[in-house]
Amino acid sequence: GAKSSSPAESSVTVAVRVRPPNSAEVQSGRATNTVQVLDDHIVSFDAPPPGTASQSGRPPVPGERRFRDLRFAFDRVFGPEASQAAVYEATTKPLVAAVLEKGFNCSVFAYGATGAGKTYTMLGYDGVPGVMMFTMEELFERIEQLRDDRAIEVTISMLEVYNETIRDLLVPLGTRPQSLDAREQPDGEITIAGLTEHSPTNAAEVLALLGLGHQNRTMSPTCANATSSRSHAVLQIRLRQQPRISGLHTSIQLSKLSLIDLAGSERASATTNSGDRFQEGANINRSLLALANCINALGDASVSGTTKHVPYRDSKLTRLLKDSLGGNCKTVMIANVSPSDLHYEDTYNTLKYANRAKEI
Ligand code: ADP
Ligand code: MG
């Protein structure tokens, strides 16, 4: 059918990344049997080991474990050997072009349980840069190439959403950050009053800012992981572009790219905590659910061309990203999983979540 102009350009891409097994998983002897990458688009989950008699169509043998034996298809699947550069190129690079050339607002989300590889994918680890760094390096390069055509200013901000409050992550270490408010401007732009904006001009400055932001993230001890990140970390990169040829009207184009390292998706009940920690878990679940509902509504709208209610208001995270999830936006979700059955339920839940976020 005919598509209306604005949702037609929106798109949702869902990728899955299976990280290499860690030493505990290798020692368990069950490192890689839960998720297998079959090709660039398909993962199998809980397939019976080769040689297992078929379980379908016969009554279960008492005491026998039933394999779920599922296959999921995604826009892209990365196995344990996939490099950071390969993940960047296939997921985020096309969005950098859309933000720069079309003035779109775009978002990339890393989803998954604690320990599944979200921060590795987005931020990277010692000497192994992730999506955030690749994005900034590419932007610097492109801006340099385009300098005769347009003046392009880049500013970045980094915040976290923790327990439904927004905090600036780029304040000096030890500063107690205030809770900030997201406001929608008359033109639809979401702004956060008091959030610091930074203008790094080279990779070293970006690295320093990302390091500061990471150190400022809220870490709380839980039974699941002593330093698990219970907050959503959002890096926003804003571009302000102005053509050099001064015509009758020199239009300024604003666009932004949001790169989000989501809080761990493990269920609140998986950690035997109470009080504060339980409230945290409830808020994390609420925002991840709201995010899935928004992405889903956008996918539906772009397929049917109709305007569907998008439930942005259901969480702080989606309210904050309202201008980056609808209209002319491209959204990428990278769902991170462990290959091992030590994380069987988390992986199953992540694959189901990612499957649901897919454009139909
Ligand atoms: P999360 O942010 O989802 O809690 P991390 O990104 O911190 O998880 O990853 C957990 C551990 O696994 C870290 O030590 C990280 O370095 C390692 N890791 C994650 N993904 C990969 C990968 N693709 N290759 C190598 N090591 C990885
Ligand atoms: Mg993390």
* Percent of the chain clearing pLDDT 90 (strictly above): 57
- Quote the pLDDT of residue 226: 37
Distance (Å, whole) CA 334 – CA 112: 9
Least confident of 140-144, 171-175, 276-280, 334-338: 276-280
pLDDT band (50, 70, 90) for residue 286: confident
37 CA from centroid of ligand 2 (Å): 23
List the 11-18 sheet strands across, edge first.
76-78, 11-18, 329-337, 105-111, 253-261, 232-243, 150-162, 165-168, 179-180
Tell whether the model's pLDDT for residue 245 goes beyond 80: no
Cα–ligand 2 centroid distance for 115 (angstroms): 7
Closest listed residue to residue 281, CA positions, set 113, 161, 163, 109: 163
Q: What's the pLDDT band for 6 if we cut at 50, 70, 90? A: very low
Q: How far is the CA of 119 from the centre of ligand 1 (A)?
A: 7
Identify the band that residue 45 occupies on the pLDDT scale cut at 50, 70 and 90.
Answer: very high
Nearest CA to ligand 1 atom 5: 117
Q: How confident is the model at residue 126 (pLDDT cuts 50, 70, 90)?
A: confident
* Poorest-pLDDT segment among 19-23, 106-110, 282-286: 282-286
Q: How many CB atoms lie within 10 A of CB 187?
A: 7
* Atom number of ligand 1 nearest to Cα 17: 23
Residue 116 C-alpha to ligand 1 middle, in angstroms? 6
User: In this predicted structure, what is the pLDDT of residue 7?
Assistant: 40
Pocket test for ligand 1, best of 32, 120, 349 (most atoms within 8 A of CB): 120
Quote the distance between the C-alpha of residue 93 and its chain's center: 14
Question: Which ligand is the nearest neighbour of the Cα of 125?
Answer: 1
The predicted model gives 289-304 an average pLDDT of 77
Whether pLDDT at 303 is above 70 = no
Q: Which two tokens stand for residue 260?
A: 């989000």
Confirm if 311 and 85 have CB atoms less than 8 A apart: no
For 172-225, how does the pLDDT look when each residue is reduced to its tens digit (9 = 90+)?
A: 888 877 899 999 999 889 999 999 999 999 999 999 999 999 988 876 554 444
Question: In this model, does residue 9 exceed pLDDT 70?
Answer: no
Split at pLDDT 50, 70, 90, the class of 305 is low
- Pairwise CA distance, residues 15 & 90, whole Å: 9
Distance 264 CA to ligand 2 centre (A): 7
State the pLDDT at residue 223: 43
Q: Which helix (H) or strand (E) holds 118?
A: helix 118-122
Buried b (16+ CB within 10 A) or exposed e, 104-123: bbbbbbbbbbbbbbbbbbbb
**What sign for the dihedral angle of Cα 273, 18, 350, 10?**
positive
Q: Which atom of ligand 1 is least distant from the CA of 19?
A: 23
325: pLDDT confidence band, cut at 50, 70 and 90?
confident
Model pLDDT for residues 85-98, shown as the tens digit of each residue: 999 999 999 999 99
pLDDT digits (tens, 9 = 90+) for 129-151: 999 999 999 999 999 999 999 99
Which amino acids bring their CB within 6 angstroms of ligand 1? 19-20, 22, 112, 114-120, 125, 264, 336
Higher per-residue confidence, 42 vs 271 = 42
Q: Which of 18, 19, 22, 288 to mutate to test the pocket of ligand 1 (most atoms within 8 A of CB)?
A: 19
